[in-house]
Structure 1
Amino acid sequence: MTNDRGYLGVTPPISTAESNEREKEVTLTLMEELRRQGTFESDEEARTRELVLGRVSALVKKFVQKVGIARGLSEASATAAGGKIFTFGSYRLGVHGPGSDIDTLLVVPKHVSRDDFFEIFEPMLREFDGATEVAGVPEAYVPIITANISGIPIDFLMARLALSSIPEDLSLQDDNLLRNIDERCVRSLGGSRVANEILRLVPNVQVFRDSLRCIKLWAQQRAIYSNVNGFFGGVAWAMVVARICQLYPNAIAGAIVSRFFIILYQWSWPQPVLLKQIEEGPLQVKVWNPKLYPADRSHRMPIITPTYPAMCATHNVTASTQMITTEEFKRGADIVDKVIVGTAQWSELFQKHDFFHKYRYYLQIIASTGDADLQIKWSGTVESRIRQLVMKLEYVDSLILAHPFIKGFEQVCYCLSEEEIRAVAQGEISETISKRKKEDIEGKEGAGPVHTTTFYVGLAIEPKQPGATGPRRLDISYPTTEFTKLVKMWEKFDETTMGIVVRNIKSSLLPDNVFDPGERQPKSAVKRSKGAKSSNTSPDMPSSKRARTSNDPSPKDAPVKTNDNGTLPPIALTPVVETAGAFAPKESSGIKSPQLPFGENVAVATGAQ
């Protein structure tokens, strides 16, 4: 496990000292807190996962056999072709919790195509006993099928190897398996290969798992766990924890977690995180090389995977999400410093985020359809493009940052008319509609369900300069227009069945479903000045909801555009119009100079890699 210099990683450890008594004490309290937070699954759920994976393994072999017979193989040859599943992600790393999904890779022989994966395996999954919510996304960067089997969420990827059969003892760590396969298969194999390599490169697997379980909970609670939205994903968090374990090979979990926050906060980005030195692989294809790194400066917080082909696990990080993540590292460093000296509890580290209390204005992105299965694909497509919206918003004058929330909020409303359908798709859900049940609309003409997934982006606005007078205007029409054009470019987009609406909303008007039960709704930071008008300028909103701005062409008779063909409405754009003093952010988002609570030598810590 060590290199020829006697240590793991690309640089020597910062310290090889054993953890002291205080670090042992805080490790015990940390594990107690993790158990109190419910991060460990029950024995019953663990057994269910094992049973489900066993059944899935048998299904994969049946799938490969079925395709083989269809390709003209004999029954014996088709059966001998095998087919094998590998897990990766949190389940493979041993840090999954109750309700976590299982990332599963199907490895199949060369006679099975990717089309077979979606045209044959997906229908087989739909008919599989206990399977629900089956949805394939073949056009994804890494093509995927999601499903829920016996209450266990599973994500399926597929990799087709250039082999006539898949042996039961197959190891994916052999780089030569990547020969003569397409890029999508290489990407699909990457998850399992990286997880295996991470476990190989840490000095103590149990310490790594305990530490990573803590960091995952913290990142989820603080709403910074989402690769698709520009934060660190599961692989990135695992790699940085593994790197801290390499730097302190004899430390236990409490010590690893405390040093994690200290080092990550003052890390000299874009210096990359590397678990091992990456060289050119046996395929002689140019991969990431530290000497070539200056050409890749677009990566703001680079974390490079340790297997061939090396990739940046954090290429989605934007200027805004980097600022937010760094602030959370600072907060974490302050808290763990207090935990070590006994003036704070671990529970403070895991306090819930304040996203829906933090900003005065938010963008609300609503994806809607009338079909549950279609909604999964459509909302996923919209979510995957939100990072592009954030990047465009970052260029807007007076906008300090655009803060995307890490998940969408799903809702099903049962509507009796086209007018209600249109209103729901635009986020206007009355109490009557919200309480209506499915049986209330059955058999009624023109009635139907509307499935919506709503995403949010918090807007931190630059404070008004001293002495400035009059209202200011924050024009976000270009970023929002470009975003909706982008999502509508999806090859399966159908304006008659899919809706996309982008509008701004004040914090005081956020819907109840973004808050936990009993959580107090946010209040406006600044009262609206007398005579100030609503900033909702959507041409698709009902006239009773639409307010006029100084740029409206006709003060009295401007028509309200509506969609009269019975379809879900097209985009509603709402540039934010600001009245004097209304956009002062609630909290400063400036990043302060690094502070090292433990008095670590800055040069040593920043030079760790």
Structure 2
Amino acid sequence: LHVYVHYGVSDPITFNYPTQEDLKKGNDVIELLKSYNLFETEIALKKREKVLGMINKLFYEFVIEISIAQGINEEEAKEIHGNLYTFGSYRLGVITPNSDIDCIFLSPKNITREIFFNEFFLKLQQDKNVKKLQALPETYTPIIKFIYDGVDIDLLLATLPYRTLKDCPYSLDNDYIFKNQDDITVRCLNGIRVADLILSLVPNKEQFRNTLRFIKLWAKRRGLYSNILGFLGGISWALLTHTCHNHLYPNLLDAKIRKNYILFFFIIFFFFFFKLY
């Protein structure tokens, strides 16, 4: 922190690109990650996309039904729709066969959190594709958890203070999107914003993803991967990985950083941990 305040952001350790030997070793790292079943198949990814489309359609129909019940005519109700967004490991592109999909509905002001956890919950109960449905409205970030056609879903809601989403003048990356929002909505929106910001700042997305897979594997095998138990969760490890990957060795592949980047990853963050505490 002292160095940052007085000297600004330091340059990367090296801008060098990988050699042919690095490229070969990089493939070995990917094979190692595959041996731990850390890559989703194309067929499974297509199924996940299909499931997200079905859930989005379900919510679209729900918004129309609620709007009409509130006295809005059908033609106008069809314009008052919500949008489904993903975040977390799915949005970052590091989903595994056992991962759930973190997603969030952005809705207009007539779809309140109470309606979401009561009436939309009932709509999910009536869907034959839904299994193990659970509503957790009192948690730090209120959530509905369920399995849809075999895919685990964690679903949030963010209600924007507009009659329709088209009336919102701000994009999700604009801080003014938080205007007149409560703390829960801010926390829900941050999931999308952080994931998108990380990806927008990463010079090589595939290198970043494979590096993150490596770090997450390390954390999980040592029992250090859990928000619930007080350890870092997925987005926290992603932020740390992004910081080192982007600022220390932005152009190197995973094999090269295996002995350099991974070492510096732990040196840097353990140094700051002990410095702060």
Contact 1:244 1:256 in 2 (8 A): no
**Matches of 1:73 and 1:173, distance apart in 2:** 31
Q: Whole-Å Cα distance in 1 between the matches of residues 260 and 131 of structure 2?
A: 43
The alpha-carbon distance between structure 1 residues 22 and 54, as it changes in their structure 2 partners (threshold 3 A), is same
CA distance in 1, matches of 2:50, 2:205: 25
> What are the Cα deviations for residues 521-573 of structure 1, in whole angstroms up to 9, with x where unaligned?
xxxxxxxxxxxxxxxxxxxxxxxxxxxxxxxxxxxxxxxxxxxxxxxxxxxxx
State the partner residue of 1:48.
47
Q: How does 1:369-448 map to 2 (within 5 A)?
A: none
User: CA RMSD, aligned part only?
Assistant: 2.2
What is the CA–CA distance in structure 2 between the aligned matches of 1:67 and 1:258, rounded to whole Å? 56
Residues 106, 160 of structure 2: 8 Å contact kept: yes
Larger radius of gyration: 1
Contact 2:171 2:177 in 1 (8 A): no
Contact in 1 for aligned 2:212/2:241 (Cα 8 Å): yes
Q: Secondary structure at the match of 1:194?
A: helix
In 2, Cα distance between equivalents of 1:180 and 1:270: 39
Q: Is the 8 A contact 1:81 1:166 kept in 2?
A: yes
1:82 paired residue number = 81
Change over 3 Å in CA distance of 1:74–1:10 after alignment to 2: farther
SS of the counterpart of 1:199?
helix
Is the contact between residue 86 and residue 192 of structure 2 (CA under 8 Å) also seen in structure 1? yes
Gaps of 5+ in 2: 1-7
1:196 corresponds in structure 2 to 196
The Cα of 1:106 is off from its aligned counterpart by: 0.6
Partner of 2:239 in structure 1? 239
Distance 1:53 1:102 in 2: 9
Distance between the aligned counterparts of 1:141 and 1:130, measured in 2? 28
Shift of 1:99: 2.4
Q: Name the residue aligned to 1:57.
A: 56
Letter in 2 for 1:67: I
Contact 2:86 2:102 (C-alpha < 8 Å) held by counterparts: yes
Match of 1:155, SS? strand
CA, structure 1 residues 122+223, in 2 after alignment: closer, same or farther (shift >3 Å)?
same
Deviation (angstroms), 1:268: 5.8
SS at match of 2:144: strand
Closer, same or farther in 2 for the Cα pair 1:188/1:267, shift >3 Å?
same
* Aligned equivalent of 1:37: 36
Alpha-carbon separation, structure 2, partners of 1:239 and 1:207: 15
- 3-state SS, counterpart of residue 50 of structure 2: helix
| Higher RCO by CA contacts (8 Å cutoff, separation 6 or greater) | 2
Shift of 1:10: 4.1
Is residue 249 of structure 1 aligned with residue 250 of structure 2? yes
State the match for 1:259 in structure 2.
260
Where does residue 163 of structure 1 map in the other structure? 162
* Residue correspondence of structure 1 range 173-572 to structure 2 within 5 A: 173-246=173-246, 247-267=248-268, 269=270, 271=272
TM-score w.r.t. the length of structure 1 is 0.42
Give the drift of 1:263: 1.6
CA distance in 1: counterparts of 2:136 and 2:261, whole angstroms: 36
Report the secondary structure of 2:91's partner residue: helix
- In the alignment, the residues of structure 2 paired with residue 226 and residue 73 of structure 1 have an alpha-carbon distance, to the nearest angstrom, of 44
Contact 1:109 1:160 in 2 (8 A): yes
Give the direction of change, closer, same or farther, for the CA distance of 1:268–1:54 in structure 2 (3 Å limit): closer
Asked if structure 2 preserves the Cα contact closer than 8 Å seen for 1:244 and 1:259, the reply is no
CA–CA distance in structure 2, aligned partners of residues 218 and 135 of structure 1: 30
Residue in structure 2 matched with residue 18 of structure 1 by the alignment: 17
* Aligned equivalents of 1:191, 1:264: Cα separation in 2: 24
The residue number in structure 2 matching 1:138 is 137
Residue of structure 2 equivalent to 1:172:
172
Matches of 1:123 and 1:217, distance apart in 2: 37
SS in 2 for 1:156: strand
Structure 1 residue 20, shift from structure 2 partner:
3.4
Unaligned runs of 5+ in 1: 1-8, 273-293, 301-609
8 Å CA contact 1:241, 1:260 repeated in 2: no
